[in-house]
């Protein structure tokens, strides 16, 4: 555990030191759970967006993308159920005065049981060696079964209590399990109460005429209210999808996990509109498609898993998370929800407008059903960043820190490094830079020893370093150094564009989906 915490601390400090992520308004001591992306962070974030946008909009002829406003008519949030039901159960510790999400306290307790299960399995695997049959062990070992049954019973009771809004039972569960404040060990809890996560704001200049608004807590509603506009102007028939990337705001109760849980964050959401009765088939398809999209990033298949929801949101008839193995354990990265016709029907009711489509095959009008895929851009950033950051000891005993990002997502694709400034090397290097800059985001640097410059590029994940030396001036070749293998190769300058493109283009990444 201590090791995982160290990894996470290193991730946070590296992100700051190398211009990826800064605490917001840091000169005023920051703002809790709000972060700014620096020069390298903004590039990485833009590349992640591109990967998603291309996979969704460009590769699917029946998905289009929009960009709706953050501020929406307040009735939107009444219709969507957010005013009444976008709550989290909150509990305070009376001694430490710290605030927690009651459901997360219980879920974390269950994660600890799961860890114990895993330890039993690992121990047995060691004991039995080659002949170990994991499935059989999990199905029959009394200890593992006891842990599993206990965990499942707790989670289903939690789900039931939350569904029935029985907050007293959530408190009772916390007491029965003797859950303590993780930092202080205190079990002196307040009652559990609901807390609405939406940020309120006002539209208009004068106090009396001002209208109460909310900052959107999800981007999805901007898609729903535009559903007919897009359908009519794009002339798509069902099934078709609308994609969007944008900011969302939630006044999260607990926000202590860096960019995993922020108060201002970005979502990449797609609503897929389908004929009623076909939604579960599309739901299964999108679960698999979205998992494949993540797997193509190459962070390791074992680092992803599905978690099917026990407690369904008020709008869903099926829901699952894709969880990623973050430095603090498996947590939600993306949600896939079969949202039924809940949202469009509610908007019909509250707006008095018809949000229906004519289906020529069925010869009837109806409100489409919706399958949603919703991934947090910042969470994906964290997954990539924390997984790809590692320290390596090299053959000569020296150390390097390398950020082995998928090359297509790297903030900088190649660094152009004249060995020295004089003798015309800088001028030649600039010429190469100016030629390649239209195709790739490059970095130019002539200061410091070349080894130091390589290390700095490794630390921000630059796939290639291109060094211009004296021979370059006469034979028009340069050395190109690969971030991961650290191998250097001498290549003609005329080949650079092809070589960099081959490794860093989105084409390769998208072809793996
Ligand atoms: P959680 O259970 O972790 O609060 P959620 O189930 O409320 O998340 P959704 O409403 O399904 O999340 O939102 C879709 C995606 O948006 C999530 O999978 C996550 O990646 C991202 N997301 C949600 N809340 C935050 C947040 N506060 N900070 C960063 N990303 C978030």
The answer to the question of residue 82 being in a domain is: no
Please give the tally of structural domains in the chain.
3
Place 163 in a pLDDT band, splitting at 50, 70 and 90.
confident
The pLDDT value given to residue 165: 87
The answer to the question of residue 261 being in a domain is: yes
CATH number of the domain enclosing 158: 3.30.40.230
Cα-to-centroid distance, 376 and ligand 1 (Å): 6
Cα-to-centroid distance, 86 and ligand 1 (Å): 12
Q: Whose CA is nearest to atom 26 of ligand 1?
A: 261
Do both 233 and 310 map to the same domain? yes
The range of the structural domain enclosing residue 172 comes to 87-194
The pLDDT value given to residue 85: 86
353, 374, 393: which is the final residue of a domain?
Answer: 393
CATH number of the domain enclosing 325: 3.30.930.10
Place 313 in a pLDDT band, splitting at 50, 70 and 90.
confident
Instruction: Give the span between the Cα atoms of 190 and 177, in whole angstroms.
Output: 16
Do both 407 and 444 map to the same domain? yes
The pLDDT value given to residue 1: 44
pTM for this entry: 0.88
Do both 268 and 279 map to the same domain? yes
CATH number of the domain enclosing 462: 3.40.50.800
* Ligand 1 proximity of 101 Cβ (cutoff 6 Å): no
Cα-to-centroid distance, 406 and ligand 1 (Å): 24
Q: Whose CA is nearest to atom 3 of ligand 1?
A: 332
Range with the poorest average pLDDT among 10-14, 40-44, 128-132: 128-132
Instruction: Give the span between the Cα atoms of 385 and 482, in whole angstroms.
Output: 19
Q: Once rounded to an integer, what is the mean pLDDT over residues 62-75?
A: 97
The answer to the question of residue 503 being in a domain is: yes
The pLDDT value given to residue 344: 97
The answer to the question of residue 236 being in a domain is: yes
194, 210, 240: which is the final residue of a domain?
Answer: 194
Q: Which residues are annotated as a binding site for ATP?
A: 250-252, 260-265, 332-333, 376-379
Instruction: Give the span between the Cα atoms of 513 and 511, in whole angstroms.
Output: 6
Q: Pick the closest to residue 144 from 172, 116, 167, 168 (CA basis).
A: 116
304: left (phi over 0), alpha (psi -120 to 50) or beta: beta
Q: Once rounded to an integer, what is the mean pLDDT over residues 57-76?
A: 97
Do both 372 and 403 map to the same domain? no
The answer to the question of residue 184 being in a domain is: yes
Q: Which tens digit of pLDDT belongs to each residue from 414-453? A: 999 999 999 999 999 999 999 999 999 999 999 999 999 9
Do both 235 and 383 map to the same domain? yes
Is the per-residue pLDDT at 28 higher than 90? yes
Q: Which is more confidently placed, 207 or 431?
A: 431
Do both 106 and 50 map to the same domain? no
Place 315 in a pLDDT band, splitting at 50, 70 and 90.
confident
Question: Which residue in the block uniquely carries the two structure tokens 């569960």?
Answer: 173
Q: Once rounded to an integer, what is the mean pLDDT over residues 109-121?
A: 93
Q: Once rounded to an integer, what is the mean pLDDT over residues 19-47?
A: 97
Do both 190 and 203 map to the same domain? no
* Cis check: omega of the bond before 239, within 30 degrees of 0: yes
Instruction: Give the span between the Cα atoms of 415 and 404, in whole angstroms.
Output: 15
Q: DSSP code of 397? A: S
Do both 402 and 328 map to the same domain? no
**What six digits make up the tokens of 275?**
């004929």
Mutation test residue for ligand 1: of 104, 374, 383, 384, the one with most atoms within 8 Å of CB? 374
Cα-to-centroid distance, 314 and ligand 1 (Å): 16
From the centroid of its chain, how far is CA 105?
Answer: 22
Do both 366 and 405 map to the same domain? no
Do both 234 and 289 map to the same domain? yes
Q: Pick the closest to residue 262 from 36, 25, 16 (CA basis).
A: 36
Residues contacting residue 335 through CB under 8 Å, at least 6 positions apart:
319, 320, 321, 322, 372, 373, 374, 375
Do both 203 and 133 map to the same domain? no
145, 169, 194: which is the final residue of a domain?
Answer: 194
The pLDDT value given to residue 359: 93
Q: What letters, b where the CB count within 10 A reaches 16 and e where it falls short, cover 80-102?
A: bebeeebbbbbbbbeebebebbb
330 bridge partner residues: 325
Q: Pick the closest to residue 64 from 223, 249, 294 (CA basis).
A: 223
Q: What are phi and psi of 42, to 5 degrees?
A: -65, -40
Instruction: Give the span between the Cα atoms of 335 and 321, in whole angstroms.
Output: 4
Do both 346 and 286 map to the same domain? yes
Instruction: Give the span between the Cα atoms of 41 and 58, in whole angstroms.
Output: 24
The answer to the question of residue 424 being in a domain is: yes
352: left (phi over 0), alpha (psi -120 to 50) or beta: left
**What six digits make up the tokens of 236?**
């798509």
Instruction: Give the span between the Cα atoms of 180 and 187, in whole angstroms.
Output: 5
């Amino acid at each position: 555990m201590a090791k995982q915490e160290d990894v996470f601390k290193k991730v946070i400090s590296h992100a700051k030191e190398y211009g990826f992520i800064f605490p917001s308004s840091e000169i005023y001591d920051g703002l809790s759970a709000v972060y700014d992306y620096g020069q390298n962070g903004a590039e990485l974030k833009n590349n992640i967006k591109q990967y998603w946008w291309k996979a969704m909009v460009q590769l699917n002829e029946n998905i289009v993308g929009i960009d709706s406003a953050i501020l929406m008519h307040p009735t939107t949030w009444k219709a969507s159920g957010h005013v009444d039901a976008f709550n989290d159960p909150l509990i305070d510790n009376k001694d430490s005065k710290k605030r927690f999400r009651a459901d997360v306290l219980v879920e974390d307790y269950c994660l600890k049981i799961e860890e114990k299960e895993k330890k039993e399995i690992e121990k047995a695997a060691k004991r039995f060696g080659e002949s170990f049959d994991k499935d059989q062990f999990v199905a029959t070992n009394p200890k593992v079964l006891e842990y599993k049954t206990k965990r499942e019973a707790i989670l289903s009771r939690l789900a039931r209590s939350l569904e029935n809004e029985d907050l007293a039972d959530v408190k009772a569960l916390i007491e029965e399990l003797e859950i303590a404040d993780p930092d202080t060990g205190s079990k002196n809890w307040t009652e559990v109460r609901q807390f609405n996560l939406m940020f309120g704001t006002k539209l208009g200049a004068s106090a009396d005429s001002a209208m109460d608004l909310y900052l959107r807590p999800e981007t999805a509603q901007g898609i729903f209210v535009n559903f007919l506009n897009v359908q009519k102007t794009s002339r798509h028939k069902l099934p078709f999808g609308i994609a969007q990337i944008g900011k969302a705001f939630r006044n999260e109760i607990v926000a202590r996990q860096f960019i995993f849980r922020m108060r201002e964050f970005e979502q990449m959401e797609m609503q897929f509109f389908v004929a009623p009765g076909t939604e579960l088939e599309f739901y299964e398809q999108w679960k698999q498609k979205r998992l494949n999209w993540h797997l193509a990033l190459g962070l390791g298949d074992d680092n992803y898993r599905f978690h099917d929801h026990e407690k369904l949101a008020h709008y869903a008839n099926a829901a699952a998370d894709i969880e990623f193995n973050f430095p603090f354990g498996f947590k939600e990265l993306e949600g896939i929800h079969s949202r039924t016709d809940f949202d469009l029907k509610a908007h019909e009711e509250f707006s008095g407008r018809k949000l229906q489509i004519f289906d020529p095959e069925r010869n009837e009008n109806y409100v489409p059903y919706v399958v949603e895929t919703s991934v947090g851009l910042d969470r994906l950033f964290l997954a990539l960043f924390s997984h790809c950051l590692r320290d390596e000891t090299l053959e000569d005993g020296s150390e390097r820190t390398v950020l082995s990002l998928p090359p297509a997502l790297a903030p900088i694709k190649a660094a152009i490094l004249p060995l020295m400034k004089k003798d015309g090397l800088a001028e030649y290097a600039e010429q190469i830079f100016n030629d390649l800059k239209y195709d790739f985001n490059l970095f130019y640097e002539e200061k410091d020893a070349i080894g130091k410059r390589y290390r700095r590029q490794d630390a921000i994940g630059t796939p290639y370093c291109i060094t211009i030396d004296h021979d370059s001036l006469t034979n028009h070749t340069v050395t190109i150094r690969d971030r991961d293998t650290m191998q250097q190769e001498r290549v003609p300058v005329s080949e650079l564009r092809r070589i960099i493109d081959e490794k860093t283009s989105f084409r390769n990444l998208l072809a793996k989906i």
